[in-house]
């Protein structure tokens, strides 16, 4: 039990050393992340639709 309490004390000490981001940093990082996820989603959707169109057009034009 003593080792567990010592471990938890060390964990608390390490957590106090962390420099946590400010609210503004947190919000800014979140917005950047959401925008990038949206852009990648649109890009992947576009690539998927383009490949689907090409493959479908090829199948209907030349057959399987």
Q: What is the pLDDT of residues 49-60, one digit of tens each?
A: 999 999 998 888
Cα separation, 32 vs 22, in Å, equals 15
This prediction has a pTM of 0.64
Give the tens place of pLDDT for each residue, 7-46: 999 999 999 999 999 999 999 999 999 999 999 999 999 9
pLDDT at residue 60, as a whole number = 84
pLDDT of residue 64: 65
How far from chain centre, in Å, is Cα 56?
A: 32
Is the pLDDT at 47 greater than 80? The verdict is yes
In the numeric block, which tokens belong to residue 13? 């000490």
Q: Name the strand (E) or helix (H) holding 20.
A: none
């Amino acid at each position: 039990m003593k080792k567990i309490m010592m471990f938890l004390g060390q964990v608390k000490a390490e957590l106090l050393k962390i420099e946590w981001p400010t609210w503004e940093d947190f919000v800014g990082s979140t917005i950047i992340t959401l925008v990038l996820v949206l852009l990648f989603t649109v890009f992947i959707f576009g690539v998927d639709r383009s490949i689907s169109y090409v493959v479908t057009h090829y199948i209907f034009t030349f057959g399987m």
